[in-house]
Structure 1
Amino acid sequence: MIVLTVDQRGSTFAADRVPEVLAELARLTRFREGVVVGFERTVGDEVQGILASGRAGAELAVDLSLHLLRDQGWSIGIGVGQVEGPLPTVSREARGFAFYRARDAVERAKTRGRGTSVAVEGPPPGAPDLRTTVSDATGPAPDPDAAPPDLAAEVEALLRLLAAIRARRTPQGWEVADTLASLADKPGRQKIVAQSLHVSEQAVSQRIRAALWQEEEAVRPVVVRLLAELSSSVGPDLVPGPDSIATEGP
């Protein structure tokens, strides 16, 4: 599973923004696939939620992370791993490796600059894919000398790259990007944006190029695919917790 831990930056000298971010996360996740346990305050100025493995959870994790990074007031840790079952109704009562990894990730994220304070932790590179029980005899033999990919590091690097692009975007660039995002992807969209903002189509094109909006749109699905692959490689999402093992009969 994917655990998202979000911690308020500079909270010692600022007002508590947890109620505000919880309302925003509830709005952003409403009617979206991929939520396993909704976001709640865990402790202090931190909130946490559990998302599903695979594409739906990965896409939601990327969308929420980039949305929160735009605010520049949050540090975000993404942890990928198994969770102890049965699942509780609130994430602060859950346990498992995904939570430990999310904790390590958010602590690393706190050391990053505003707007790029995100980190990702997953299984160690080269860990066996527990979902694979039979090798594909028709595929090419693995290269024993090839270094295994560190998917968590790749996801983190691309997320930070996107966050850095977005952190440098001007208000005019965001105006165009937000308007484009609100429209269906079809021919003539830039003309609609120009009419909506009362500027020329040439001005819209210039703002799109300056904002690197097309580059962001091209990279985002790559991040989602890698995170989905990482989250689907860790084995069964739920594993028995110590309490459930102790109470099992013969």
Structure 2
Amino acid sequence: MYVITADQINSRADIDRAGALLQLLISRFGPSFELAPDQTAGDEVQMMTTDAAVALEATLAIHRTGRWSVGLGLGPVRTPLPAATRQAAGPAFIAARAGVTRAKRTDTHFALESAQERRSAPTSLDGSDEDMSAAEVEALIGIVLLLRQRRTPEGWEAIDLLHLGFTQGDAAERLGISTAAISQRLKTAAWRAETAARPALVRLLEHLHRQTIETGPSA
């Protein structure tokens, strides 16, 4: 299971943004979560999924708001599942908790933890090329997060239109700019580089998850 725990940044000096985040997550990924995303404690939101692509996309969506520290935990959960996410437990939840705690001290406000590595140092399991650590996958996701973090509003505007199905020509017309200007926005935003990286990141998460389930603690 992939468990995400998100903790609101500087919540004492801000309004409670959990409700808005829950609406965003449910509208975009609702059926893909095992249980509905939940506000678990104060300004904290938690969710879980069996789909690595959904875990990555949800992480990216939460991170884009700039309002949350995000911990992604991989591993088993206690079954049968309860009626609500706030009642769920297991090694993946412990890993996500450790992740969000560490995320608060990182440049990206993101951290990845596997349940297997909760028991040992974050190194490859036996030194073979097939094994990897959560730290290695976290570093690669972190590069994408930093890239997105530095993207301009104009870059996001162009990218969002493409995600809605607009062609570059249609997007240019919609924004009242030239196709060359749209192309430059996308280039500056490194949109193609991110798009190319996402499938690889999903495969790495899947590999790390299998590795964690096969060698980690049981729920």
**Shared topology, TM-score over 0.5?**
yes
Q: Give the whole-Å Cα distance in 2 for the aligned partners of 1:171 and 1:99.
A: 34
Pick from 214, 229, 244 the counterpart of residue 192 of structure 2.
214
Contact preservation (8 Å) 1:151, 1:226: no
Q: Does 1:59 align with 2:53?
A: yes
Q: Give the whole-Å Cα distance in 2 for the aligned partners of 1:218 and 1:19.
A: 32
State the match for 2:112 in structure 1. Answer: 120
Deviations 1:138-188 (A, max 9, x none): xxxxxx76466334223211221111111111111111111111117xxxx
Contact preservation (8 Å) 2:124, 2:133: no
Higher share in helix: 2
Q: Give the whole-Å Cα distance in 1 for the aligned partners of 2:129 and 2:169.
A: 48
Distance 1:94 1:30, change over 3 A: closer
State the match for 2:14 in structure 1. Answer: 14
Contact preservation (8 Å) 2:52, 2:205: yes
Relative contact order, CA 8 A, sep 6+: which one is greater?
Answer: 1
Contact preservation (8 Å) 1:2, 1:78: yes
- Secondary structure at the counterpart of residue 3 of structure 1: strand
- Secondary structure at the counterpart of residue 218 of structure 1: helix
Contact preservation (8 Å) 1:79, 1:105: yes
Q: Does 1:171 align with 2:165?
A: no
- Secondary structure at the counterpart of residue 233 of structure 1: helix
Q: Give the whole-Å Cα distance in 2 for the aligned partners of 1:145 and 1:21.
A: 40
Contact preservation (8 Å) 2:3, 2:72: yes
State the match for 1:139 in structure 2. Answer: none
State the match for 1:47 in structure 2. Answer: 45
Q: Give the whole-Å Cα distance in 1 for the aligned partners of 2:128 and 2:209.
A: 22
The percentage of counterpart residues that share the same residue type is 37
Deviations 1:52-78 (A, max 9, x none): 1xxxx1111111111111111100000
Partner amino acid for 2:46? Q
- Secondary structure at the counterpart of residue 48 of structure 2: strand
Task: Give the greater-gyration-radius structure (CA).
Answer: 1
Q: Give the whole-Å Cα distance in 1 for the aligned partners of 2:165 and 2:44.
A: 33
Q: Give the whole-Å Cα distance in 2 for the aligned partners of 1:21 and 1:64.
A: 11
Q: Give the whole-Å Cα distance in 2 for the aligned partners of 1:148 and 1:229.
A: 9
Shift in Å at residue 48 of structure 1?
Answer: 0.6
What pairs with 1:126-165 in structure 2 (closer than 5 Å)? 126-127=124-125, 146=128, 149-165=131-147
Q: Give the whole-Å Cα distance in 2 for the aligned partners of 1:23 and 1:193.
A: 27
| Gapped regions of structure 1 (runs ≥ 5) | 128-143, 242-250
State the match for 2:75 in structure 1. Answer: 81
Partner amino acid for 1:233? Q
TM-score calculated relative to the size of structure 1: 0.78
- Secondary structure at the counterpart of residue 211 of structure 2: coil
State the match for 1:28 in structure 2. Answer: 28
Partner amino acid for 2:151? R
TM-score calculated relative to the size of structure 2: 0.89
Q: Give the whole-Å Cα distance in 1 for the aligned partners of 2:218 and 2:198.
A: 34
Q: Give the whole-Å Cα distance in 2 for the aligned partners of 1:240 and 1:207.
A: 47
State the match for 2:178 in structure 1. Answer: 200
- Secondary structure at the counterpart of residue 79 of structure 1: strand
Distance 1:214 1:199, change over 3 A: same
Q: Does 1:107 align with 2:101?
A: yes
Shift in Å at residue 225 of structure 1?
Answer: 1.1
Distance 1:118 1:178, change over 3 A: same
Contact preservation (8 Å) 1:4, 1:61: yes
Contact preservation (8 Å) 2:38, 2:85: yes
Q: Give the whole-Å Cα distance in 2 for the aligned partners of 1:159 and 1:69.
A: 11
State the match for 2:91 in structure 1. Answer: 97
